[in-house]
Every structure is written in C-alpha cells, then in structure tokens.
Structure 1
Amino acid sequence: MRPIYFFWIVFAISVYWMAYLYQDFLMNLLIAGLLCVATFWLKDFFGRYIKNEILNSFCCVIVLLAFLIVPLYFVGHRSIGFIVGLDMDSFSSFVDKTKQFIIGIFEYFPVLSSGIKKSLANISAQSIMTYAIHFSSYIGKYSLSFLINTGFIVVFLFFFFYYGRRIYNYILQLLPFEISQSKAVFREINGVLRVVFLTSIINVILQGFAFGIAVVWLGYDGFLLGVLYGLTSLIPVIGGALLWLPIAGYEIYLGNVGIAIFIGVYSLVFIGFVIDNLIKPIIIAFIKQKILKTPLQINEILIFFSILAGFSTFGFWGIVVGPTITAFFIALLRLYQSNFSHKNP
C-alpha cells in the first residue's frame, strides 16, 4: 500500500473519532468561529488603542455579549417586576371578563357556542398560573441549556479572537489551493457574514423602534415593547406576531377594535412587509455596496432567503449558519468555474 493511501485512511478514522469525541461542542465551535469571522473587524478597531492581545480579545467578546445580555436583562428585570406586582384578584377578574367577552362573541354562532363554553369552563386565573409555572419550568430547562451553550460559545469566541490570525494563516497553508484562491473563498464568506450581522442589528433596531413609537401613543411602555419586538424580529416568519397579537387581543377585549386593527395592520403591513421584506433587502444591498470594501458577488435576495432556510433547519443560530453554507458553496462554484472548468471563455 502506498504511504499516501495509508495516511488518508488513518486520517479519516482520526477525523471520525475527533468528531465523535467533540460532538457536543461542534455546533458551539462553529457558531463561535462564524461570529469571530463576522466581527473580526472589532479586533482591528480595538487594536488601534489596545496593543495587549488578551485585553483586545476580551473587549471584543464583551461588546458582542452586551448586544445579547443587556436587552435580555432589561426584559427579564421588567418581567419579574410585573409578575411580582401582579394582583391575583384583578387578574382573576380580568380572566372572567375575557371569558364572558369571548362567549358573547360566539353566541352569534350557535354551532360553535357550546364547544367554546366547554373549552372555557376549565380556564381560570389559577389554571393559567399553574400552566404558566409549568411552562416556565419547561422554558427554564431549555434556557439553562441555551445559557450553557452560550457560555461555551463565549469561551471559544475569546480564543478565536486571540488566535484568529494564526488559525487563518494555518488553514491557508493546509488547503490544496493557491493562497489567492483560498483567500477569495474566505473573503466571500467573511463578507456575507458581515452583511448578515450588520443587517440583523439594523433590522432589530428599525423594527423595535417602529413598534415602540406606535404603541407608546396608546399608553404602553414603548421602550420595553420596542426591545421585545426587536428581539422577536430575529425569528423569521413568526417574528413580532408573538408580541402584537396578544396586544391586539387585549385591545379587542377593552372594546378598542379600531386600535386593535391599527396594531395588526401596522405590524403586518408596515413592519412585517415593508421593513422586513422590502427595506431589509435594500439594507443588505446598501451594506454590500457602501460598507464592505470588497463587493460581494452574491445576490442580496439569496442572502435573505439563506437566512430563512438556515433558521428553519438549524434554529436560531441558523441565521448565521445558513448564509455561511450558501456563501461557501457559491464561492467553491466560482472557484471551479474560474480555475478548473475547461469551458471558460
């Protein structure tokens, strides 16, 4: 057996066992690496003022962590304050009135009325609180898992920032391409990730601001609901419906049908369609052309749909993974076309 064949057999076996050994951390490593690639410009920015590599990398992690921790802390703090100050008598009265309101609506539909009454008979303030406690324990279990994974991502992210350039140069030496070809592939991936990162931040701010401005005039806490709407906007398809639907339902309960319709139409048409589906691709195109020094050759609509596909396949972190896979595939196709295809003009 030729030595090279033996090497590849042994190498493939070692890769399998390495993947098996670190399988619980592979996704965390991938997410940390992609975040580092998308935001490595932060390290260059801090490098102008902070020459210590450890402190520089630490500052980069703190800045990124602030985008996640600060909004979640604010929402959690306000939510706990709301729950602690909840008056059970008032809440029970609210539930009873809501049930009567719903039954009153379905009295015009005799076929459905009896079924609705039976469904609402077991609903009370106590049952809702019991369900909320049960649901919170369910959420808490997955939140703990999310926090643990986030902790690993933060640790890996620090090391990626610290060793980033050395890892990048080492990978360039390993790949069986010319250095210029490998750099072109990485440049494409880096550009797409930066577009996704910056677009997501701008989109969160725009949608949160638009919703907060609308509801503050209706007597709600515009800042809190704006932050919440911005966070929920990161979830494709469903997004802000998790927030505006309960508010619209509450306004209908109060008898403010016009306000409820306004909230629904405003959220669906202006925020959900105009901002998320029309303005967002424009933002992607603007970032590609004006902010990135090297223009990308990937259509902004394709980036937009790769975010949706990534979320549906990988969950929340698919927002980053989806565009990366798409950019890598297209970069390889372009590399093949320009260097290996015999049909080049």
Structure 2
Amino acid sequence: MRPIYFFWVVFVVSLYWMGYLYQDFLMNLLIAGLLCVASYWLKHFFEKYIKNNFITSFLCVFVLLTFFILPLYFVIHQSIDFLRHLEPHSFQMFIEKLRNFTSNTFVDFPSLNSSLNKVLSNISVDGMMTYALKFSSYIGKYSLNFVMNTGFIVVFLFFFFYYGRKMYDYAIKLLPFQKSESQAVFEEINGVLHIVFLTSIINVLLQGLAFGIAVMWFGYDGFLLGVLYGLASLIPIVGGALLWIPIVGYEIYLGNITGAVFIGIYSLVFISFVIDNLIKPIIITIIKQKILKTPIQISEILIFFSILAGISTFGFWGIVVGPTITAFFIALLRLYQNNFSYKN
C-alpha cells in the first residue's frame, strides 16, 4: 500500500473517533467558532487601544455576554417585582371580570363560551402558584443543560478569540490551494457572518423600539415590552406574537377594540412584515456596501433567505449556521470554477 493511501485510511478512522469522542461538544464548538468569526471585528477594535491578547479576548466575550444577559436580567427583575406586588384579591377580581366578559361576548357561541368558562374557572391564585411551581420545575429540569452548554460556548469563545489568529494561519496552510484563494474563502464567510451579526442586532433594536413606542401610547411600560419584543423576535416562527397577541386580548377585554385592532395590525403589518421582511434586506445591503471593507460577492437577497432557511432548519442558531453553509458552498463553487473547471 502506498504511504499516502495508508495515511488517508488512518486519517479517516482517526477523524471518526475524534468526532465520536467530542460529539457532545461539536455544536458548542461550532456555535462558538461562528460567533467568533462574526464578531472578530471587536477584537480588532480593542487591539487598537490594548495590546494584551488575554484582555482583548476577555473584553470581546464580555461585550457579547452583556448584549444577551443585560436584557434578560432586566426582564427577570421586572417580572419578580411584578409578582412581589401582585395582590391575590385584585387578581381574583380580574379573573371574575374576565369570566363575565367572555360570557357576555360569546353568548351566541355556547360551546366556545363553555370551554372558556371552564378554563377560567380553574384559574385562581392557588392554581397559578401550583402551575408556577410545576413550570419552574420543568424549567429547572432543562436549565442545567442550557447553562452548561452556554458555559462551554463562553469558554470555547474565549479560546477562539485568544488563538484565533494562529488557528486562521494554520487553516490557511492546511488547505491545498493558493494562499490568496484560501483567504478569499475565509473572507467571504467572515463578511457574510459580519453582515448577519450586525443585521440581527439592528433588527432586534428596530422591532423592540417600534413595539415599545406603540404600546407606550396605551399606558404600557414601553421600555419593558420593547425589550421583551426584541428578545421574542429572535424566537423562530412565533417571534413577537408572544407579546402582541396577549396585549390585543387584554385590550379587547378592556373594551378598547380600536386599540386592539391597531396593535394587531401594527405588529403584523409594520413590524413583522415591513421591518422583518422589507427593511431587513435593505439593512443587509447598506451594511454590505457601506460598512464592510472587504466586498463579498453573495447577493443580499440570498443572505436574507439563508437566514430564513437556517432558522427553519436549526432554530435560533440557524441565524449564523444557515448563512455560513451557504457562503462556504458558494465560495467552493467559485474556487472550483477558477481552478478545476474545463473551459471551452
């Protein structure tokens, strides 16, 4: 057997066992690596002022954590404060008023009226506390795994920032192409992820701001609901509907039909359709043309649809996984066209 064949056999077997050995960490490694690539511009920014690799890597991770953790901390703090000041008597009176409202509103629909009354009759302060305990135990069952995965992602993210340059140089040397071609592939992926990262942040801020301003006119806490809507917009499929549907229902209960219709149409048409589907591709175009120093050759429409495809296939993390797969595939096609395809 020729040595090269023996090497590839051993390499494939070794690669299989490496994948089997680290299978529990592969997704965490992938997510951390993609986040590092998407936000490596932070490292370049900090390196202009700080020359210590450890400190700049730590600051990059800290900034990313702050972006995700501070809104969650604010929401949890406000929720606990709301529950702490919740009066059982007032809550029970609200349920009674809601039961009377549904009975009078759906009097012509006896089956629906009966179902709603059955649901509302089971709602009480004690029942809510029991449900909260069951829900908290359910959350606790899966939160440990989530916290562990998040911890591994944070650790891997730090090491990717810390050794990013060395890993990049090593990967360039391993690829059997010219250095300029290998760099072009990585720059293409980096550019796409940079666009996706900035677009996602701007989209969250725009949706949260738009919803917060709208509900503030109806007496709600615009800042809290804006933060919640921005976070909810990251959830695949349902998104901001987790916020605006309950508020529309509450406005209907209060008898403010005009306000309920406005909030519903505003959320569906302006936020969900205009901002998420029309303004988002424009933002991608602006970032691609004005912010990125290295131009990429992938259409902004393709980037937009790769985000949608990634979310539908991989869930939340598909925001970065989908565009990465698409960019890598197109970069390989371009590499094949320039080096291996036969020209007539």
Normalising by the residue count of structure 2, what TM-score does the alignment of the two structures yield?
0.96
SS of the residue aligned with 1:49? coil
Q: Name the structure 1 match of 2:92.
A: 92
Asked if structure 2 preserves the Cα contact closer than 8 Å seen for 1:36 and 1:161, the reply is yes
- Give 1:189-268 correspondences, 5 Å limit: 189-268=189-268
- Give 1:107-126 correspondences, 5 Å limit: 107-126=107-126
What is the one-letter code of the residue matched to 1:293?
A: K
Q: Name the structure 2 match of 1:149.
A: 149
Structure 1 residue 144: Cα displacement: 2.8
Report whether the alignment pairs 1:331 with 2:331: yes
Structure 1 residue 333: Cα displacement: 1.1
For 2:239 and 2:123, the matched residues in 1 are separated by 27
Asked if structure 1 preserves the Cα contact closer than 8 Å seen for 2:102 and 2:113, the reply is no
Structure 1 residue 83: Cα displacement: 1.3
Asked if structure 1 preserves the Cα contact closer than 8 Å seen for 2:95 and 2:120, the reply is no
Asked if structure 2 preserves the Cα contact closer than 8 Å seen for 1:106 and 1:116, the reply is no
Q: Name the structure 2 match of 1:18.
A: 18
For 1:251 and 1:129, the matched residues in 2 are separated by 25
- Give 1:1-345 correspondences, 5 Å limit: 1-343=1-343
For 2:69 and 2:58, the matched residues in 1 are separated by 16
Question: Residue 150 and residue 249 in structure 1: after superposition, are their counterparts in 2 closer, same or farther (change >3 A)?
Answer: same
Asked if structure 2 preserves the Cα contact closer than 8 Å seen for 1:96 and 1:124, the reply is no
Question: Residue 6 and residue 202 in structure 1: after superposition, are their counterparts in 2 closer, same or farther (change >3 A)?
Answer: same
For 1:249 and 1:129, the matched residues in 2 are separated by 23
Asked if structure 2 preserves the Cα contact closer than 8 Å seen for 1:236 and 1:308, the reply is no
Asked if structure 2 preserves the Cα contact closer than 8 Å seen for 1:251 and 1:260, the reply is yes
Question: Residue 205 and residue 115 in structure 1: after superposition, are their counterparts in 2 closer, same or farther (change >3 A)?
Answer: closer
Question: Residue 145 and residue 166 in structure 1: after superposition, are their counterparts in 2 closer, same or farther (change >3 A)?
Answer: same
For 1:112 and 1:39, the matched residues in 2 are separated by 51
Question: Residue 229 and residue 293 in structure 1: after superposition, are their counterparts in 2 closer, same or farther (change >3 A)?
Answer: same
Larger displacement relative to structure 2 (36-45 or 84-93):
84-93
SS of the residue aligned with 1:295? coil
Structure 1 residue 27: Cα displacement: 0.7
What is the one-letter code of the residue matched to 1:164?
A: G
Question: Residue 38 and residue 114 in structure 1: after superposition, are their counterparts in 2 closer, same or farther (change >3 A)?
Answer: closer
Question: Residue 172 and residue 108 in structure 1: after superposition, are their counterparts in 2 closer, same or farther (change >3 A)?
Answer: same
For 2:20 and 2:296, the matched residues in 1 are separated by 36
Asked if structure 1 preserves the Cα contact closer than 8 Å seen for 2:38 and 2:197, the reply is yes
Asked if structure 2 preserves the Cα contact closer than 8 Å seen for 1:35 and 1:157, the reply is yes
Structure 1 residue 317: Cα displacement: 1.2
List runs of 5+ in structure 2 lacking aligned partners. none
Structure 1 residue 115: Cα displacement: 4.3
For 1:38 and 1:305, the matched residues in 2 are separated by 18
For 1:115 and 1:205, the matched residues in 2 are separated by 39
Structure 1 residue 12: Cα displacement: 0.9
For 2:111 and 2:50, the matched residues in 1 are separated by 72
List runs of 5+ in structure 1 lacking aligned partners. none
Larger displacement relative to structure 2 (216-225 or 126-135):
126-135
Structure 1 residue 341: Cα displacement: 1.1
Structure 1 residue 121: Cα displacement: 4.1
For 2:246 and 2:112, the matched residues in 1 are separated by 22
Structure 1 residue 111: Cα displacement: 4.9
For 1:314 and 1:52, the matched residues in 2 are separated by 36
